[in-house]
Amino acid sequence: MRFTLLKTDPQSNARRGRIETDHGTIETPIFMPVGTVGSVKGVYHRDLKSDIQAQIILGNTYHLYLRPGLDVLREAGGLHSFIGWDRPILTDSGGFQVFSLADSRKLTPEGCTFRSHIDGSAHSFTPENNVDTQRVIGADIIMALDECTPGDADRAYARKSLDLTKEWLKRGIARFDSTEPLYGYSQTFFPIIQGCVYPDMRAEAAEFVASFDREGYAIGGLSVGEPTEVMYEMIEVVHPILPKDRPRYLMGVGTPENLLEGIARGIDMFDCVMPTRNGRNGMLFTWEGRMNMRNRKWERDFSPIDPNGTSFVDTAYTKAYLRHLFIAGEMLAAQIASEHNLAFYLDVVSKARQHIEDGDFYQWKEAAVKKLQNRL
């Protein structure tokens, strides 16, 4: 993987860059649609490419390991071949999913044991077998196994958790560097910065991961219950420590305004389930603010869903029709809303790239964030 820093914003830490992988180029800043089990819920790959213009999607190691399983993925030739996607893929290590299974998992210095949410069967991830699993899945960018510390963890817990993540990282890097890709293209390994909401621990974690001189770095353990301003503070802590010539990935974040504020603080890559999850529940994001499509106010609004939108669904259907589909329980409602929201998120980062190139990102961002918070 190769990252080229093309331009920086004069009034913020926003960056315009380009990532080159064996499966294609990624223009940054970028938002990555989440395809947890090998599909972005309710959206055809055709539309992800042509209409939404997704340059990279995510898969999740925990879910793909359990189903369809490594034997199927290996026989298929990896996730790209299995799902028919020829652009880059990133896989999370599954650390967050294991964290969310607090009642059925156990952490040890060796790794973590957990029970499947599908059938209750027992499994374990170690830094080593997690790398092996992601080699079989075959993503272009794979993540280190870490513990995602709760946002409200006390200092003692955060200290213990960070020490565990650091030890796991050393072992994961050793395994990655001693093994080879399985399908004839290269893979990249990103360490993850933890440290909860404690600035000194975040700085320590950033310095630790930077010492390994990897091709990119992720910031994890944010947007997990801490106040938004604290999340921004943690990004600001690690920004000057991380190498400027490597991409920074903020995991699991967030709203459109979170994206813009993250970009202003030097973040290059984002992912979040929010555009599809909120879309399935009737919330649409637009440049004028958010719309709840179940509201009666849209019942006789025959204007396009979003006349300023970039997706074909924005002008093909009306607000009244989309509301009708939601009220009627039609699955098409979730598909339309998901496609709109994903296209909107990709439009947010596309416009951010353009304004960084134009040199007026900060002023544009300040005005955009105010509108994005409106409820229409």
DSSP H stretches of helix in the chain: 45-50, 61-66, 70-76, 79-83, 95-100, 127-137, 155-177, 199-210, 228-238, 256-264, 274-280, 312-316, 319-328, 331-358, 361-372
pLDDT for 97: 77
pLDDT for 305: 98
Closest by CA position to 280, among listed 352, 339, 203, 206: 339
pLDDT for 107: 87
Q: Which residues are registered as beta bridge partners of 311?
A: none
Q: Which one of the listed residues 271, 306, 314, 347 is annotated catalytic?
A: 271
Strand (E) or helix (H) holding 221: none
**pLDDT digits 0-9 by tens, 151-185:** 889 999 999 999 999 999 999 999 999 999 999 99
Question: How many angstroms separate the first and last alpha carbons of the chain?
Answer: 42
Tokens of 281: 């529940």
- What residue has token string 């003692």? 156
Q: Is 92 among the catalytic positions?
A: yes
**pTM to 2 decimal places:** 0.96
Under 8 Å between Cβ of 37 and 79: no
pLDDT for 98: 73
pLDDT for 10: 96
Query: Is the Cα torsion angle 311, 317, 320, 325 positive or negative in sign?
Result: negative
**How many beta carbons lie within 10 A of that of residue 121, not counting itself?**
9
d(CA 275, CA 165): 29
Q: Which one of the listed residues 92, 146, 268, 314 is annotated catalytic?
A: 92
**Interior/surface letters 231-262, b for 16+ CB within 10 angstroms, e for the rest:** bbebbebbbebbeeebbbbbbbbbbbbbbbbb
Separation of CA 312 from chain center:
24
Residues of the chain with pLDDT under 70: 102
Which amino acid, 235? Answer: I
pLDDT for 6: 98
